[in-house]
């Protein structure tokens, strides 16, 4: 099996075939909102009730003298100071954050993407506030700076310097709560996860990905929040979730001339959109199984190049209808996903619309203590296939297979977490992919270390382009 690499520029043209970098979908927003009253918050807000400033007859204005006692004034000021301090403490207590320093080393790369290829410092700041009516406000942002571009005396493309040396980005920014006993609302920048697979995206189409450094981090760090208005209606065991997508932007891909996109910049103009798109999820949870049905009218994340005037990357609207099913039996979990997409356009055949059927089946086993094993296989089938699609930058076959195997286990009272993931394309696992081994270690309270190796596997023209970009990575983070 030859070595190969996952080329983000390829993901740019084939995201609909291979958006499977890594995953951990648990904990995202495709669940009913759980609201928990906070007694500590109530205590913090004590003293803000409408109370008379005068608490006894001794604090009243002396009718005979027309004066207020100096002791009363001092007591009153002390109360105001305590209230102010309580309010400040309440605000400050909502702030958390994480500082991370990461270094990457490419042992097979060519200049300038060889040896030490990354020295990235990042800061994540998060603020969350729960109101007394059980509504919640959350906002977070991340900034990073990769010093390797200034330390190494190498020539990098201007695109790489502009897009990957530094960034400040707003991520989550939403407010959520209950309108009534059976209706929840969430408004703002958020992540909505559809589907069941932890490694391969089939129905999970609502959020774009940050593909600039593929295969190095899990999917929870790849999804980019999008501004949405989401309602949850609860009817018995069912949840009906209409969604209005108010912000249109698309997956971030590696800069031209970077490690995973060695091509020169074609100077494509990307069309901007300010319209509203829509989605709907209907799901039910039952004993031992759950099911979801999906429908969406969204813009195609990959898009195609229109050459009618100036070369422009266009993202037309497509329709998606899908379903996902989970069945639990003892230590086994069976998961399936099915999606049908129509209205697809490709660069080589812009006057023709295509449809595609994507299917996935997977299993998870947790019968071994502190260990999770999973295997997923997917097939993407172009229903009205035309051989002209072989002229795409990444030639499109009628059927595209992808398989992923993952194992994760904990040691030493859950302070060490060891993981292995391999994702390969092709019916015979011979068309490229990647494998990654990494270990997470809780070094101390709030301090975590993460060390791993990514091996990109060749086997096709696409993945052979970057098969020598294997790398070692290590990062240390401090959460506060």
Q: Are 169 and 141 in contact (CB under 8 A)?
A: yes
Residue partners of 204: CB distance under 8 A and separation at least 6: 25, 193, 194, 195, 197
Mean pLDDT of 393-416: 93
Token pair of 176 as six digits: 């959520």
**446 Rama sector, left if φ>0, alpha if ψ -120 to 50, beta otherwise:** left
Mean pLDDT of 393-419: 94
- Going by pLDDT thresholds of 50, 70 and 90, the confidence category of residue 77 is very low
Percent of the chain with pLDDT over 90: 69
pLDDT exceeds cutoff 60 at 47: no
Burial class (CB in 10 A: 0-12, 13-18, 19+), 62: exposed
DSSP 313-350: EE--EEEEEEEEEEEEETTEEEEEEEEEEEEEEETTEE
Burial class (CB in 10 A: 0-12, 13-18, 19+), 4: buried
Residue that is written with structure tokens 């999973």 in the block: 374
3-state secondary structure of 373: strand
Q: What is the pLDDT of residue 250?
A: 97
pLDDT digits (tens, 9 = 90+) for 167-210: 999 999 999 999 999 999 999 999 999 998 988 999 999 999 99
Assigned CATH for 8-30+98-479: 2.40.160
Residue that is written with structure tokens 């390829």 in the block: 10
Q: What is the pLDDT of residue 85?
A: 60
Q: What is the pLDDT of residue 466?
A: 87
- As a whole number of angstroms, the distance between CA 274 and CA 247 comes to 7
Q: What is the pLDDT of residue 6?
A: 36
Sheet of 312-314: strand order equals 269-270, 312-314, 304-306
Q: What is the pLDDT of residue 68?
A: 44
Mean pLDDT of 406-413: 95
- Per-residue CA distances from 277 to 117, 190, 228, 250, 388 (Å): 39, 15, 10, 13, 31
- As a whole number of angstroms, the distance between CA 332 and CA 362 comes to 11
User: Residue 470, Cβ neighbours under 10 Å: how many?
Assistant: 21
Q: What is the pLDDT of residue 393?
A: 78
3-state secondary structure of 463: helix
Listed range (79-83, 236-240, 375-379, 382-386) with the worst mean pLDDT: 79-83
3-state secondary structure of 121: strand
Highest mean pLDDT of the ranges 43-57, 148-162, 209-223 = 148-162
- Going by pLDDT thresholds of 50, 70 and 90, the confidence category of residue 290 is very high
DSSP assignment, residue 387? G
- Going by pLDDT thresholds of 50, 70 and 90, the confidence category of residue 72 is low
Q: What is the pLDDT of residue 309?
A: 79
Phi, psi of 221 (to 5 degrees): -100, 5
pTM over 0.85: no
Chain mean position to CA 77: 48
Q: What is the pLDDT of residue 400?
A: 96
pLDDT digits (tens, 9 = 90+) for 217-253: 877 789 999 999 999 999 999 999 999 999 999 999 9
């Amino acid at each position: 099996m030859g070595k190969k690499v996952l080329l983000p520029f390829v993901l740019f043209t084939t995201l609909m075939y291979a958006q499977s970098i890594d995953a951990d979908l648990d904990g995202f927003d495709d669940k009913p909102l759980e609201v928990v009253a906070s007694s500590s918050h109530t205590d913090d807000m004590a003293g803000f009730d409408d109370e008379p400033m005068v608490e006894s007859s001794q604090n009243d204005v002396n009718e005979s003298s027309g004066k207020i006692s100096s002791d009363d004034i001092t007591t009153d000021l002390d109360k105001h100071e305590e209230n102010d301090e309580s309010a400040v403490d309440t605000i400050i207590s909502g702030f958390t954050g994480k500082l991370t320093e990461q270094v990457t080393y490419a042992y097979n790369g060519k200049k300038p993407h060889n040896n030490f290829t990354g020295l990235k410092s990042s800061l994540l700041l998060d603020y969350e506030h729960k109101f007394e009516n059980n509504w919640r406000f959350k906002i977070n942002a991340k900034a990073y700076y990769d010093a390797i571009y200034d330390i190494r005396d190498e020539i990098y493309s201007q695109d790489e310097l502009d897009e990957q040396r530094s960034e400040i980005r707003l991520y989550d920014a939403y407010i959520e709560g209950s309108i009534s006993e059976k209706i929840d609302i969430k408004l703002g920048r958020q992540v909505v996860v559809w589907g069941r697979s932890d490694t391969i995206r089939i129905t999970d189409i609502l959020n774009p990905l940050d593909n600039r450094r593929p295969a190095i981090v899990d999917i929870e760090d790849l999804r980019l929040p999008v501004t949405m208005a989401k309602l949850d209606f609860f009817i018995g065991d069912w949840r009906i979730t209409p969604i209005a997508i108010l912000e249109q932007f698309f997956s971030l891909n590696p800069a031209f001339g970077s490690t995973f996109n060695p091509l020169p910049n074609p100077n494509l103009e990307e069309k901007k959109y300010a319209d509203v798109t829509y989605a709907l999820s209907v799901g039910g949870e039952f004993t031992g199984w759950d099911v979801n049905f999906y429908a969406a009218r969204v813009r195609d994340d990959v898009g195609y190049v229109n050459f009618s005037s100036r070369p422009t990357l266009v993202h037309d609207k497509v329709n998606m209808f899908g379903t996902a099913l989970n069945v639990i039996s003892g230590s086994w979990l069976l998961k399936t996903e099915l999606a049908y997409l129509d209205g697809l356009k490709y660069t080589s055949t812009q006057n023709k619309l295509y449809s595609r059927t994507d299917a996935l089946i997977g299993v998870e086993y947790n019968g071994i203590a502190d260990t999770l094993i999973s295997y997923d296989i997917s097939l993407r089938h172009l229903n009205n296939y035309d051989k002209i699609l072989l002229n795409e930058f990444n030639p499109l076959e009628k059927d595209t297979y992808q398989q992923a195997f993952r194992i994760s286990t904990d040691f030493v009272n859950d302070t060490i977490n060891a993981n292995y993931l391999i994702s390969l394309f092709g019916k015979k696992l011979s068309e490229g992919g990647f494998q990654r081994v990494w270990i997470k270690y809780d070094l101390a309270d709030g301090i975590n270390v993460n060390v791993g190796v990514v091996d990109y596997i060749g086997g096709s023209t696409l993945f052979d382009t970057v098969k020598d970009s294997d790398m070692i990575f290590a990062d240390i983070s401090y959460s506060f």
